[in-house]
Amino acid sequence: MNIQKILPILLLLCSFNFYAQGENMKEKKEQIKALKVAFLTTELDLTAKEAEKFWPIYNTFDDKQFELRHLKMKAYKNRMNEAALDKMSEKEASLLLSQMESADEELFVLRKNYMRNLKKVLPAVKIIKLRISEEKFNRKLLHQYRDRANRK
């Protein structure tokens, strides 16, 4: 399975994990965000001028993406367990599927606009490095999560 297919799954799992955390979610999100900023800063080697323009774009995108995923997943989570699905009518399932497709489309449009904005402030090579660095960070985060779960 290639990375482009794994990344959305990983982010989805992170969203569910944050949802399950309850009140600690905001605190954990901020901790992860701080780690991510440090990691990306090191990996991308941005100039001061690039960083000044990049971080507002990145943070806005990251917040909107998280909010969209979190809000949408929260709405779907209760409706997607097996018991609920078995009782769901075809009409209800079609509506849920339509809502899921709509959320996917919103995420796609958000990412497309984000890329367009990034191209205005970073060279293409650094945008590619950003994608690779985000994947590295997410893998690292997943490994830490697995290690912590295995220790328990």
Alpha-carbon gap, residue 8 to 94, rounded angstroms: 22
The predicted model gives 36-44 an average pLDDT of 92
75 or 40: which leads in pLDDT: 40
pLDDT of 114 over the 90 cut: yes
- Per-residue pLDDT band for 78 (boundaries 50, 70, 90) equals low
pTM score, whole prediction: 0.71
| pLDDT given for residue 65 in this prediction | 92
Which among 135, 27, 19 is positioned nearest to 67, based on CA atoms?
19
Q: Would you kindly state where each structural domain of the chain is located, as residue ranges? A: 51-121, 122-152
The predicted model gives 80-87 an average pLDDT of 74
Q: How far is CA 5 from CA 81, 122, 146, in A?
A: 23, 25, 20
Angle (deg, nearest 10), helices 48-77 and 3-20: 70
- Per-residue pLDDT band for 7 (boundaries 50, 70, 90) equals very low
| pLDDT given for residue 128 in this prediction | 96
Alpha-carbon gap, residue 8 to 55, rounded angstroms: 22
pLDDT of 6 over the 70 cut: no
Contact of 21 with 28, CB cutoff 8 Å: yes
